[in-house]
Amino acid sequence: MSQKQFKKIDFVQNNEEQYQIEFKISEIGEGINLIVQRLNENGEYEMIQAPIRRLNDRVFVVWDHPFDGRLIFEA
Task: Please determine, for residue 5, whether its predicted confidence score (pLDDT) is greater than 90.
Answer: yes
pLDDT of residue 45: 98
Please give the model's pTM, rounded to 2 decimal places: 0.87
pLDDT of residue 53: 92
Distance between CA atoms of residues 37 and 28, nearest Å: 15
pLDDT of residue 1: 87
Domain boundaries, the chain: 2-73
Binned at pLDDT 50, 70 and 90, residue 14 comes out as very high
> Among 19, 33, 17, 27, which Cα is nearest to 69's?
19
CA angle 30, 32, 43 (to 5 degrees): 110
Instruction: Note the pLDDT tens digit of each residue in 24-73.
Output: 999 998 767 899 999 999 999 999 999 999 999 999 999 999 999 999 99
